[in-house]
Chain A
């Protein structure tokens, strides 16, 4: 399923959990891995100066500097790389200069990976000038346009040491969700694990501020369960174990709770590609909220 993994990393602690997942996946799937780091953001007009995202220093990029950064990355991941070598896993270290989301997408286009694993950002520069100059985070922008599934690990994925045995697929019955469903099924088959299909009935603001009665909620839940049965269950013949549930509440909260209850090792969701207004983009879509809160890796699928 995964022959090529693009691991986009800050090569700092913020990406450590993602690194573990990326290398584990590469090993499990015998995939090649491309370790990709965007080392600097261009600044100063047309000049050669960039801001090193790790040191936060203004540096002039030349071949020497690039070689040095590559070496640093090699040292940072020396343990993982040694292990990878012993498993005969191909790897490559690449660095680029530019805006992180754009360069990750550019590399994804070049390398055509089957999976992108996105590490955490260096964090404290949320209000730095380059971020302010565009709407949305690296995550939002990569998730929106990624040509393949995108795996994000935001919080320590402790259970991931032992691989994946429980997958939660969250649906909103959209077209994009159908693609995410297909992917979940294939993965569950492949890994021989349990699949939990989940829908959260959004009762936060869908009804123009009017509170739904309990009866209405329950009838809508029944309706959603029917939809799950109709739309997905027929496709689950080869899945050993599955379950499906509909809860009501704030979707991203509910799915995180549900995943915890199911001891999920992975959540799969669709990323909506509809145009969002700037305000919405800042708030982040449902899946972005899930990524921030989930205790396990999240895979985002947009097509």
Chain B
């Protein structure tokens, strides 16, 4: 029977429900209710019957328990090689069991599954590269999260996050008006330094449609200003949309597939309405994965692609620097030891490994760029992916999970970590707060702004 008032199998549909859940500080009552939330085994088994892909089934069956994936998981390493952190074990003891028991699992079991799905895997997809059979826990855990979500066993913040997307089509309570108004404000704030700076809204047929992360609007609108400035200096014909501007998807982290679809469709609608040549998203890894890599499947697009060509910010930036649309003042290039955090979400899922290094070659003085080891598609997750960063309940586990990245950075000797991904940026920020290793961290945009040459005709007079 019991479904709680706050913790239940129903998704958030209205602003009021969202507020009610938010007012349950820290999810106290929510998690209390979760303790007596029943598992709807019938629904669970039926869902599995309908949605478990044959690939996943095969993966579960063919795993040889060889353990070769163990070392590949940063959480296994950060937790002193705890056997319970071996990727194969994590999935076999959760999804594997549920399938074996045909959905007949109880509340206590689902609590364990929830913790495993959100606190023991960030869906970074690294293990999949090391398994001789190509078994990818990241993919399976994403699927498992969907089952958890359907049953109501989802961390409080992510139930809220998914609800935000359902209510606002954004990961935070930022409305379309807020978005447009904030962008305009940022342009006003900077137009003296950059005469002619503007933010074209809902312009049809522009070369670039720019999409963002709602957090930029809410807390760091400087990021919007920086994006506008760089497009301006590069002489781009760009626009933003007044609706469907949010590229991220906490719904993806939550396993709320219906909300994923709603969210990404709002962006695709904007593409179809404005018909830009290309869509460029902000410096966010999971946003790119959600909108460009996975989104087309959620939205049921047969060609597996978004309505218009969609690229990550780093791809645009590399191109602008390569083609000389943006010119770097060589004297202002970075002259301290700097490294790069590869975001799993676009390095493993979208192959963007060389392009970021190309950017480094333009902005760092020769000899100062250091690679983390391992790097590129072999890089470890920052430690906070897949929603891990924001879940209060699993904070201790998350802090432990940062250790792998911390040690990688210390070993590199870098003073500055460039993280062109919101989640990675957050995790590295928290890592500094937690372990105080004396590093700085940054997105690319502010760094580029500090060293870009302003073309003569765009300079302020005086």
Binding site for B on A (CB under 8 A): 42-49, 60, 62-65, 98-99, 102, 105-106, 109, 129, 132-135, 145, 174-175, 273-275, 277-278, 303
Residue of A nearest to B172 (CB): A46
Q: Are A44 and B392 neighbours in the complex by a CB distance under 8 Å?
A: yes
- Distance of B195 from chain A, by nearest CB (Å): 12
Contacting residues, chain A, for B337 (C-beta < 8 A):
none
Given known A44-B390, A63-B23, contact A129–B192 (CB-CB < 8 A):
no
Residue of A nearest to B427 (CB): A45
How far is A145 from B23 in the complex, measured between Cα atoms in Å?
34
Q: Are B193 and A273 neighbours in the complex by a CB distance under 8 Å?
A: yes
Stretch at the interface among B62-70, B77-85, B288-296, B428-436: B428-436
13 A-B pairs with CB atoms under 8 Å apart are A42-B219, A43-B433, A44-B390, A44-B395, A45-B423, A47-B390, A48-B160, A60-B25, A102-B220, A105-B189, A132-B432, A135-B446, A273-B193
Residue of B nearest to A128 (CB): B433
Q: Are A46 and B215 neighbours in the complex by a CB distance under 8 Å?
A: yes
- The A interface is mostly helix, strand or loop, or mixed, namely loop
Residue of A nearest to B192 (CB): A273
- Distance of B439 from chain A, by nearest CB (Å): 9
Contacting residues, chain B, for A106 (C-beta < 8 A):
185
How far is A43 from B433 in the complex, measured between Cα atoms in Å?
10
- Distance of B274 from chain A, by nearest CB (Å): 27
Q: Are B462 and A174 neighbours in the complex by a CB distance under 8 Å?
A: yes
Contacting residues, chain A, for B462 (C-beta < 8 A):
174-175, 274
Given known A99-B220, A135-B446, contact A46–B384 (CB-CB < 8 A):
no
How far is A47 from B384 in the complex, measured between Cα atoms in Å?
13
Contact of B171 among A46, A99, A303 (CB under 8 A): A46
Contacting residues, chain B, for A109 (C-beta < 8 A):
185
Q: Are A44 and B389 neighbours in the complex by a CB distance under 8 Å?
A: yes
- Distance of B126 from chain A, by nearest CB (Å): 20
Q: Are B429 and A274 neighbours in the complex by a CB distance under 8 Å?
A: no
Contacting residues, chain A, for B432 (C-beta < 8 A):
129, 132
Given known A62-B25, A273-B192, A278-B450, contact A46–B460 (CB-CB < 8 A):
no
- Distance of B223 from chain A, by nearest CB (Å): 11
Contact of B26 among A45, A60, A98, A129 (CB under 8 A): A60
Is B183 an interface position by the 8 A CB rule?
no
Is B22 an interface position by the 8 A CB rule?
yes
Q: Are B189 and A48 neighbours in the complex by a CB distance under 8 Å?
A: no
How far is A17 from B432 in the complex, measured between Cα atoms in Å?
34
- Distance of A238 from chain B, by nearest CB (Å): 29
Contacting residues, chain B, for A65 (C-beta < 8 A):
25
Contacting residues, chain B, for A133 (C-beta < 8 A):
429, 441
How far is A109 from B441 in the complex, measured between Cα atoms in Å?
30
Given known A60-B25, A129-B433, contact A45–B390 (CB-CB < 8 A):
yes
Residue of B nearest to A133 (CB): B429
The 10 closest A-B pairs by CB, nearest first: A45-B389, A45-B390, A47-B390, A129-B433, A46-B390, A45-B426, A60-B25, A62-B25, A145-B189, A47-B157
Q: Are A277 and B215 neighbours in the complex by a CB distance under 8 Å?
A: no
Residue from A63, A109, A129, A277 having most chain B Cβ neighbours under 10 A:
A129
How far is A278 from B395 in the complex, measured between Cα atoms in Å?
34
Contacting residues, chain B, for A129 (C-beta < 8 A):
429, 432-433
Q: Are A274 and B460 neighbours in the complex by a CB distance under 8 Å?
A: yes
Contact of B392 among A47, A132, A134, A277 (CB under 8 A): A47
How far is A47 from B430 in the complex, measured between Cα atoms in Å?
13
Is B4 an interface position by the 8 A CB rule?
no
Residue from A43, A46, A132, A134 having most chain B Cβ neighbours under 10 A:
A46
Extra pairs beyond A47-B391, A135-B446 (19, CB < 8 Å): A44-B389, A44-B395, A44-B430, A45-B384, A46-B250, A48-B25, A48-B26, A48-B160, A49-B392, A60-B26, A62-B22, A65-B25, A102-B221, A106-B185, A109-B185, A129-B429, A134-B222, A145-B189, A275-B193
How far is A48 from B441 in the complex, measured between Cα atoms in Å?
23
Taken residue by residue from 437 to 462, chain B's Cβ proximity to chain A (1 for < 8 Å, 0 otherwise) reads as 00011000010001000100000101
Is B378 an interface position by the 8 A CB rule?
no
How far is A205 from B432 in the complex, measured between Cα atoms in Å?
37
Residue from A45, A133, A273, A275 having most chain B Cβ neighbours under 10 A:
A45
- Distance of B385 from chain A, by nearest CB (Å): 10
Is B161 an interface position by the 8 A CB rule?
yes
Contacting residues, chain B, for A60 (C-beta < 8 A):
25-26, 392
- Distance of A138 from chain B, by nearest CB (Å): 13
- Distance of B433 from chain A, by nearest CB (Å): 4
Contacting residues, chain A, for B220 (C-beta < 8 A):
99, 102
Contacting residues, chain A, for B29 (C-beta < 8 A):
none
- Distance of B330 from chain A, by nearest CB (Å): 14
How far is A45 from B383 in the complex, measured between Cα atoms in Å?
12
Q: Are A62 and B23 neighbours in the complex by a CB distance under 8 Å?
A: yes
How far is A145 from B189 in the complex, measured between Cα atoms in Å?
6
Residue of A nearest to B428 (CB): A133
- Distance of B249 from chain A, by nearest CB (Å): 11
Is B332 an interface position by the 8 A CB rule?
yes
How far is A140 from B454 in the complex, measured between Cα atoms in Å?
23
Taken residue by residue from 344 to 356, chain B's Cβ proximity to chain A (1 for < 8 Å, 0 otherwise) reads as 0000000000000
Q: Are B450 and A277 neighbours in the complex by a CB distance under 8 Å?
A: yes
Contacting residues, chain A, for B390 (C-beta < 8 A):
44-47
- Distance of A274 from chain B, by nearest CB (Å): 7
